[in-house]
Amino acid sequence: MLKLPIYLDNNATTPMDPRVLEAMTPYFLEHFGNAASRNHPFGWEAEEAVDYAREQVAKLIGADPKEIIFTSGATEGDNLGIKGVYEMYASKGNHIITATTEHKAVLDTCKHIEKIGGEVTYLQVNTEGLIDLKELEAAIKPTTILIAIMYANNEIGVIMPIKEISAIARKHGVLLFTDGTQAVGKIPVDVNKDGIDLMAFSAHKMYGPKGVGALYVRRKNPRVKVTAQMDGGGHERGMRSGTLNVPGIVGFGKACEICMLDMEEDTKRISKMRDHLETELLKLEEAYVNGSREHRLPHVANISFKHVEGEGLLMGFNKNIALSSGSACTSASLEPSYVLKALGLGDDLAHSSLRFGLGRFTTDEQIEYTIKAISETVLKLREMSPLWEMYKEGIDLNTIEWAAH
């Protein structure tokens, strides 16, 4: 029996894997110690568990355990990585290069840096959602200290050419920070092969618990340091103070271990479902995939259904299917997704988009149900859409002078 509602918003968060919860439970109850308590068995057990988790996390990304700084999640990692580098390398320069499609945690951190005297270049992306490497290289100046480009985008799933980006960064002696939140655990990420100097990522996007993440900080070639953003007990090699979230970290470690073991199998199964979903939905007239289909995460699809508004579309099935829309009709700003707009999409197509994030627990049956529900709703709403009627009558919507609204 198909159980409703269906969860297809795995880019927002993932359900916890039961194996992760199982690993965590003892650390809430009998092993509740503070990992920084050096003088008794409670502390020792907690520290040992954290060390083990640090190894599991490091292994997934090909890092040394000493290079893992535990944080509260990717937003903190983005802040610590970018602000920490900005402060630590102030004597070298104050210029940072990023892109317009980054997550708000990166963009707003960069805006903060601009306010305190830094200089930031925001690279545009092409219609596929990718930055131009030549433009990136041309943007580097003597004062550039950091390039901050995400590994994969949260809205469209597009994977940036990180290896090529890091080669450029290395050539010019600039550090590379990447927000790996959507990529780590889903596709192979190796900090050495990819040439990453700093990377933020989070447990709850990979079937781990919320409230825990990590910042990878390279220790060799080059040795990277960040200025702490919170004062306190000097935990995490002085870079992130605060009592460690032991059960969360244990769960994070387990989640990483499972991702590593299951990645190949999961990817094969999930990408097959994603491709099927996409093929079927593209059979609808005037349906378009947003962003590169070639350089894309295996579990993500972002599709616009022209002349149907995204939120109105979601309402047709959101009791039964959990999805996101690029339409921001619910927000006070009424601005559609800045990521889709950065691809050059008109506001109308941006308003008409749905983001599908499949996951480890998605089933074929759920996908079949989703294809049917969405196709039916799109057809029903198009019958109700004046834009669809005009389109069908051959009227060019761009020639209409829309009443100011």
Active site amino acids:
329
Site string for other proteins, 190-219 (x = CB under 8 A): ------------------------------
Residue 388 contacts other proteins per CB under 8 A: yes
Least distance CB 327 / other proteins (angstroms): 6
> 69, 236 in Cβ contact below 8 A?
yes
Q: Which is nearer to other proteins, 320 or 330 (CB)?
A: 330
Rounded CA gap, 301 and 155, in Å?
9
CB of 396 to other proteins, least distance (A): 12
Which residue number, 192 or 330, has a Cβ lying nearer to other proteins? 330
Using CB under 8 A as the binding rule, whether residue 4 contacts other proteins is answered as no
Based on CB atoms, which residue is closest to other proteins, 108 or 311? 311
Q: Judged by CB, which is closer to other proteins: 242, or 312?
A: 312
Q: Decide if residue 153 touches other proteins (CB under 8 A).
A: no
Among 346, 368, 375, 379, binds other proteins (CB under 8 A): 346
Smallest gap, in angstroms, from Cβ of residue 310 to other proteins?
8
> Among 77, 253, 336, 359, which residue interacts with other proteins (rule: CB under 8 A)?
336
Residue of the chain from 15, 389, 392, 395 that contacts other proteins (CB under 8 A): 389
Q: For residues 114 and 389, which CB has a smaller minimum distance to other proteins in the complex?
A: 389
Find all residues with CB under 8 Å of 180, minimum gap 6, and list them: 61, 150, 151, 152, 189, 196, 199, 200, 201, 216
Binding of residue 404 to other proteins (CB under 8 A): yes
Nearest to 196 by CA among 304, 302, 68, 9: 68
Q: Between 26 and 312, whose beta carbon lies closer to other proteins?
A: 312
Q: From residue 300 to residue 329, what is the string marking binding to other proteins with x (rule CB under 8 A)?
A: -------xxxxxx--xx----------xxx
Closest CB to other proteins among 132 and 389? 389
Among 330, 344, 372, 395, binds other proteins (CB under 8 A): 330
Q: Examine residue 139 and tell whether it contacts other proteins (CB under 8 A).
A: no
CB of 292 to other proteins, least distance (A): 25
Asked if residue 405 binds other proteins (CB under 8 A), the reply is yes
Cβ of residue 329: shortest distance to other proteins, in angstroms? 5
Instruction: Give a three-class secondary structure readout of the chain.
Output: CCCCCEECECCCCCCCCHHHHHHHHHHCCCCCCCCCCCCCHHHHHHHHHHHHHHHHHHHHCCCCHHHEEEECCHHHHHHHHHHHHHHHCCCCCCEEEEECCCCHHHHHHHHHHHHCCCEEEEECECCCCCECHHHHHHHCCCCEEEEECCCECCCCCEECCHHHHHHHHHHCCCEEEEECCCCECCECCCCCCCCCCEEEEEHHHCCCCCCCEEEEECCCCCCCCCCCCCCCCCCCCCCCCCCCCHHHHHHHHHHHHHHHHHHHHHHHHHHHHHHHHHHHHCCCCCEEECCCCCCECCCEEEEEECCCCHHHHHHCCCCCEECEECCCCCCCCCCCCHHHHHCCCCHHHHHCEEEEECCCCCCHHHHHHHHHHHHHHHHHHHHCCHHHHHHHCCCCHHHCCCCCC
Report in angstroms how near the CB of residue 4 gets to other proteins at its nearest: 17
The nearest distance, CB 301 to other proteins, in angstroms, is 21
Quick one: which of 262, 278, 347, 368 contacts other proteins (CB under 8 A)?
A: 347
Tell the smallest beta-carbon distance from residue 315 to other proteins (Å).
4
Residue 400, exposed/middle/buried by CB under 10 A (0-12, 13-18, 19+)? exposed
Check binding of 355 to other proteins (CB under 8 A): no
By C-beta, is 294 or 383 nearer to other proteins? 383
Q: Count residues binding other proteins (CB under 8 A).
A: 33
70 residue type, one letter: F
Judged by the rule CB under 8 A, the positions of this chain that interact with other proteins are: 307-312, 315-316, 327-332, 334, 336, 346-348, 351, 383-389, 397, 400, 402-405
